[in-house]
Structure 1
Amino acid sequence: MTSRRALVVRGGWDGHKPVEATELFLPFLRDNGFDVTVSETNDVYADADLMAATDLIVQSVTMSEISREAFAGLRDAVRAGTGLAGWHGGIADSYRKESDYLHLIGGQFATHPSKAPEECGAGESDNFLPYTVEMTELGRTHEITTGIADFSLDTEQYWVLHDDLIDVLATTTHPVQPYHPWHRPVTSPAVWTRHWGDGRIFVATPGHSPEVLADPNVRTIVERGMLWAARTA
């Protein structure tokens, strides 16, 4: 049986621990028959031969930049059938200056609301809030999320700007608070998939840290999402 190939691309802002986070999933990928290559730079996307031979890209690159050549390689590979998967800022907050990347992914991090001002102390936990990830009707039957009930986390709750071409498997709702300027609850996608040409894209917004990724619900969703996204033919 021929092994499939996975390319793990990591880097960008170190606050999301891209090395430690991706290392959590390397044994899973290998156990599921992938030969895994790890790259510390997205320049690898410009390698046309490597990309053509890659069945799954797992990206963990928050913010950062991407060259036109590298982005074209990523875009063309996905369109041709290479799967793309990731979590949190490593996929939903990558390459902010590249509008075509945002178009590819279908959803972009906008903010993560904070606690009340009097509870904030200028640390990353200022943005850790208790919230619920709620399955959609599609999510209750989709192979990525089937059997997973709504669950709670205490971490960054992503507010995502998105288009209508994503298939939303789970959502999270930002409540109205007196210290925030919005006037009604806002629901954002928390887990989604997207078909792009012959390729599949999977995004989960939970995953701020390895500890969040170790949550059984989050880890199961990410693992299933990677397998779903991988090239099928």
Structure 2
Amino acid sequence: MTRRALVVRGGWEGHSPRETTDLFIPFLQAQGFAVRVEEDVEVYADAATMDATDLVLQCVTMSQISGDALAGLRAAVVAGTGLAGWHGGIADSFRASSDYLQLVGGQFASHPGKPEAERAGDASDNFLPHTIELTDLGREHEITRGTDTFELTTEQYWVLHDDLVDVLATTTHPAPDHQPWHRPVTSPAVWTRQWGAGRVFVATPGHSVDVLQHPSVRTLVERGLLWASRTA
């Protein structure tokens, strides 16, 4: 039986929604998924489409969603449709919707940047070297098992989250003198969530194509997509 993946992309262009999702469409097809691409989140309001979808890969930073579309997405996940994504495409979507935040379990709050004296006035001002470190659960989970701690230089997400997320990897923000917090803060970097019969997978690395091409990031995203799918 053919599995069906729905790629929903759009929102803020700074996260290259088309280019980044295009990285993973061939992978999904090779895994036996029939892939449909939509650039409007209102597809979530189409009950017939959502009922037939095994996996939603979402890359929609910020933007807005109607009540009907959000209700459709939530209902689909409860019924078993998987929801997966990376970075702002899933963890910084639909900021005005508390119901979306509850579904996903974590929300982007900030990506701390360099000191003013080191800024160049471009996106690199927010690119910091940091570590993605597996949790004890992450060392055993099928998504991250066998993945070592790895280093990235890109946006490091500070995430607000709840206790229903199962954290597979974390990243720790230091407390440099130019920032207002006074001790290091650890945020989830990769997590899963069970919601009804559905699975949710979130990876916070993924600001750009090159980050998603990092071998460790790409591996955990590919595994996360398969894990989240209804027929995983």
What band does the TM-score fall into relative to the shorter chain?
A: over 0.9
Identity among equivalent pairs (%):
69
**In structure 2, the residue corresponding to 1:26 is in which secondary structure?**
helix
Deviation at 1:157, TM superposition (A): 0.1
Q: Kindly indicate whether residue 109 of structure 2 is the aligned counterpart of residue 123 of structure 1.
A: no
Match of 2:96 in 1: 97
CA contact (8 A) 2:113 2:128 kept: yes
> Which whole-Å deviations, capped at 9, do the CAs of 1:184-223 have from their partners, x for residues lacking one?
0000000000000000000000000011000000000000
| Alignment correspondent of 2:215 | 216
Q: Residue 43 of structure 1 corresponds to which residue in structure 2?
A: 42
Letter of the 1:82 partner, please give it. T
**Which structure 1 residue ranges, 5 or more long, are not aligned?**
none
Structure 2 counterparts to residues 107-122 of structure 1, below 5 A: 107-122=106-121
| Alpha-carbon distance, 1:45 to partner | 0.3
Matched, 1:153 2:149: no
**Alignment length, in residue pairs?**
232
Q: Which residue of structure 2 lines up, in the alignment, with residue 56 of structure 1?
A: 55
State the Cα distance separating 1:68 from its structure 2 match.
0.3
What CA RMSD, in Å, does the superposition of the two structures yield over aligned residues? Answer: 0.7
Whole-Å separation in 2 of the counterparts to 1:211 and 1:68? 34
CA contact (8 A) 2:4 2:53 kept: yes
State the alpha-carbon separation in 1 of the partners of residues 32 and 168 from structure 2: 26
CA deviation digits over 1:44-67, x for unaligned, max 9?
000000000000000000000000
TM-score (norm 2): 0.99
The amino acid across from 1:99 in the alignment is: S
Gaps of 5+ in 2: none
**Residue deviations 1:132-171, cap 9 Å, x none?**
0000000001000000000000000000000000000000
Shift of 1:122: 1.9
| TM-superposition CA deviations, 1:87-108 (whole Å, max 9, x none) | 0000000000001000000000
Moved over 4 A (4+): none
Provide the residue aligned with 2:27 in structure 1: 28
- Which residue does 1:185 correspond to in 2? 184
The Cα of 1:121 is off from its aligned counterpart by 2.2
Matched, 1:230 2:232: no
**Residue aligned with 1:70, SS:** helix
Distance 2:148 2:212 in 1: 17
